């Protein structure tokens, strides 16, 4: 590309008035030009539309249909040869778009460049949010390089690749980018780059965090059980299988203690297993946060998230064994149409 390509920044939004202004200010402060900015407001009931209207962007208001439908609509309206998907609770660093474009220009075989979250929250609402943002940062940092999952909370995608792979699956309210990455990786390469960074405002209530983790993890069993080329890698998951298994071992000691008190030894053994599996992450947290107390809080929250992930995996496995419809969860809707078109 001799001239800098037009990048279409596509921002799906649903009730994120809290952060949408910061998100848009960061977009319009990007070093890359030219930019086209499209905000797809997905049926918000807060002041999101009014906030977006204060910026020189294209604002499209729709009935609530989910993030996949909003991204697909933005892609259909976009004029750029590169699509940059960005969630409205993310504030990009000034060079994020330029860096993603440079990486795509340097390697014509790359179809997508996705970024990572900073370890500092966009809005710090307490220890639960600090845990989730730092864990999300470390997870993506650990997986940096070529991956088989897409991260479209901040990620660039060549329009030509999007048109070849097809749209995101609009029947998915969660895990849509994991499914899309599984399809995308069979046709093109995906780079997860620590040079493309944004600050993220995550959930700050433990009940919400645990519920979302459960709801998102159950259907992923069907995708990981897929024996085809779309199957993601376990290493791409946010919660290490070894740590999840060790958490299960620790918790198993509690009910088994009703049969024999010796079973209680499983609790410290399991927790030690979690600490061992996540020792690099815990060192990172201790070094970065500079607080032993927060590291202990981080570990406790991580154990709870591991337990939720393990329970969800068990529920998903049971559903996979008993329901053909569940086994075909990722082979319906928009994904099925795209597969048929590319067959």
More reliable by pLDDT, 327 or 75: 75
177: pLDDT strictly greater than 90 = no
CA proximity to 68, closest of 150, 148, 160: 150
Q: Could you tell me what percent of the chain has a pLDDT over 70?
A: 93
CA proximity to 201, closest of 151, 98, 126, 143: 126
Contact 95, 85 (CB under 8 A): no
- Angle value at C-alpha 30, between 29 and 32, nearest 5 degrees: 145
235: pLDDT strictly greater than 80 = no
Would you state the pLDDT for residue 1? 45
Would you state the pLDDT for residue 3? 82
pLDDT band at 258 (very low <50, low <70, confident <90, very high): confident
234: pLDDT strictly greater than 80 = no
CA proximity to 30, closest of 156, 141, 135: 156
Report how far apart, in Å, the C-alpha atoms of 271 and of each of 231, 243, 312, 325, 334 are: 30, 9, 19, 36, 42
303: pLDDT strictly greater than 90 = yes
Over residues 10-30, the mean pLDDT reads: 98
341: pLDDT strictly greater than 50 = no
More reliable by pLDDT, 248 or 291: 248
Would you state the pLDDT for residue 226? 75
For 205-209, 230-234, 288-292, which range has the lowest pLDDT when averaged over its residues?
Answer: 230-234
Alpha carbons 115 and 84: distance in angstroms, whole number: 11
| Residue-range domain boundaries for the chain | 7-202, 236-342
- pLDDT tens for each residue of 179-196: 899 899 989 999 999 999
Would you state the pLDDT for residue 227? 57
What is the chain's mean pLDDT, rounded?
92
More reliable by pLDDT, 171 or 17: 17
Would you state the pLDDT for residue 290? 83
Would you state the pLDDT for residue 333? 62
Is the Cα torsion angle 223, 227, 230, 235 positive or negative in sign?
A: positive
- pLDDT tens for each residue of 49-61: 999 999 999 999 9
- pLDDT tens for each residue of 105-151: 999 999 999 999 999 999 999 999 999 999 999 999 999 999 988 99
Q: Which of the listed ranges 27-41, 138-152, 163-177 does the model predict with the highest average pLDDT?
A: 27-41
What's the whole-model pTM score?
0.90
Residue in the structure block whose two tokens are 């030009």: 33
The CATH number of domain 7-202 is 3.30.70.100: no
More reliable by pLDDT, 264 or 72: 72
Please measure the distance between the N-terminal and C-terminal CA atoms of the chain and give it in whole angstroms: 31
Q: Which residues are 147's β-sheet partners?
A: 190
Would you state the pLDDT for residue 255? 87
Q: Tell how far CA 299 is from the center of its chain.
A: 21
Would you state the pLDDT for residue 230? 58
Q: Which residues contact 201 (CB under 8 A, 6 or more apart)?
A: 18, 19, 89, 90, 121, 122, 123, 125, 129
Report how far apart, in Å, the C-alpha atoms of 312 and of each of 4, 22, 92, 147, 150 are: 45, 34, 32, 24, 22
Over residues 294-315, the mean pLDDT reads: 97
Alpha carbons 242 and 328: distance in angstroms, whole number: 27
Torsion of CA 223, 226, 231, 236, to 10 degrees: 50
């Amino acid at each position: 590309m001799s001239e800098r390509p037009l990048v279409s920044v596509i921002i799906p939004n649903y009730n994120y008035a809290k952060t949408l202004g910061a998100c848009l200010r960061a977009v319009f402060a990007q070093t890359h030009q030219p930019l086209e900015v499209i905000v797809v407001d997905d049926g918000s009931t807060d002041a999101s539309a009014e906030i977006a209207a204060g910026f020189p962007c294209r604002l499209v208001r729709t009935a609530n249909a989910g993030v996949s439908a909003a991204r697909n609509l933005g892609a259909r309206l976009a004029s750029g040869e590169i699509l940059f998907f960005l969630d409205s609770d993310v504030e990009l660093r000034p060079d994020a778009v330029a860096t993603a474009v440079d990486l795509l220009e340097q390697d014509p075989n790359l179809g997508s460049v996705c970024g990572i979250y900073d370890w500092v929250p966009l809005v710090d609402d307490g220890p639960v949010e600090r845990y989730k943002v730092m864990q999300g940062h470390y997870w993506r940092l650990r997986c940096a390089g070529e991956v088989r999952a897409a991260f479209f909370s901040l990620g660039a995608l060549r329009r030509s690749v999007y048109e070849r792979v097809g749209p995101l699956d609009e029947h998915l309210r969660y895990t849509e980018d994991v499914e899309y990455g599984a399809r995308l990786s069979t046709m093109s390469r995906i780079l997860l780059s620590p040079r493309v960074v944004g600050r993220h405002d995550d959930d700050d209530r433990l009940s919400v965090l645990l519920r979302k983790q459960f709801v998102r993890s159950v259907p992923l069993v069907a995708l990981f059980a897929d024996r085809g080329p779309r199957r993601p890698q376990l290493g791409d998951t946010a919660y290490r299988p070894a740590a999840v298994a060790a958490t299960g071992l620790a918790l198993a000691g509690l009910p088994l203690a009703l049969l024999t008190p010796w079973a209680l030894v499983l609790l410290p053994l399991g927790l030690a297993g979690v600490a061992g599996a996540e020792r690099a992450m815990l060192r990172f947290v201790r070094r970065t946060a500079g607080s032993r107390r927060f590291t202990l809080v981080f570990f406790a929250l991580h154990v709870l998230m591991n337990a939720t992930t393990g329970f969800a995996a068990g529920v998903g496995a049971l559903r996979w064994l008993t329901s053909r419809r569940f086994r075909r969860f990722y082979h319906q809707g928009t994904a099925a149409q795209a597969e048929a078109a590319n067959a």
